[in-house]
A and B are shown apart, each in its own frame.
Chain A
């Protein structure tokens, strides 16, 4: 079964850091772009970051310079290191598999990040 499971969410103070992890299973992880999408409570979906199989990384303007995406193909996992966190980063963060030409076909269940003092 194809599955993605996030971990690492929690409560952090403004200016703090948090590292999200996503463990994938059921497919050849190294062949796919992997993506983070977030959703604030009662709001729409926001694309955050993506990493290609070769390691090329992409970021939204709202997180560029503060967040870093990485992957570890040997562990079928990828990560989002979030620094200098702000209240507006509070959201559910989903890890997602992207198929070129196909969109986002597999989503994790989401992990909650709350930035508050």
Chain B
């Protein structure tokens, strides 16, 4: 199975900060990487697919990038609505796997 290592597990930031979350795959996943945002008691929401494509309706302050088996989610200017937990997800092959999650909290 492909392992997804996500860091950090918790991140404290202020409104307006630039925030970066990373995820590393244990082997090549051919850019088949998605990022999700989840708020307490709610289902996850797709933000980014194929490593860097922005899902329709998602604000442009969210972006994704990749370098080899490393992937990054960046929020260019953190907004109050962005305090949530974020997950990476590889869908290159079954079984699919998720990263452990990054909780973005108010500093």
Contacts and interface: CB of A to CB of B under 8 A. Distances in A.
A104 B55 CA distance: 11
Contacts, number: 57
Interface stretch (B18-26, B74-82, B87-95): B87-95
Q: Is the interface of A mostly helix, strand, loop or mixed?
A: strand
A58 B87 contact: no
A108 B95 contact: no
Size class of the B contact interface (CB-based, 8 Å): 20 to 34
A44 B87 contact: yes
Given A45-B44, A61-B1, A94-B43, A103 B98 contact: no
A82 B32 CA distance: 29
Nearest to B95: A60
Q: Is the interface of B mostly helix, strand, loop or mixed?
A: loop
A13 interface: no
Interface residues of A, number: 21
Given A61-B1, A102-B50, A47 B32 contact: no
Interface of B: 1, 32, 34, 36, 38, 43-46, 49-50, 55, 87, 89, 91, 94-101
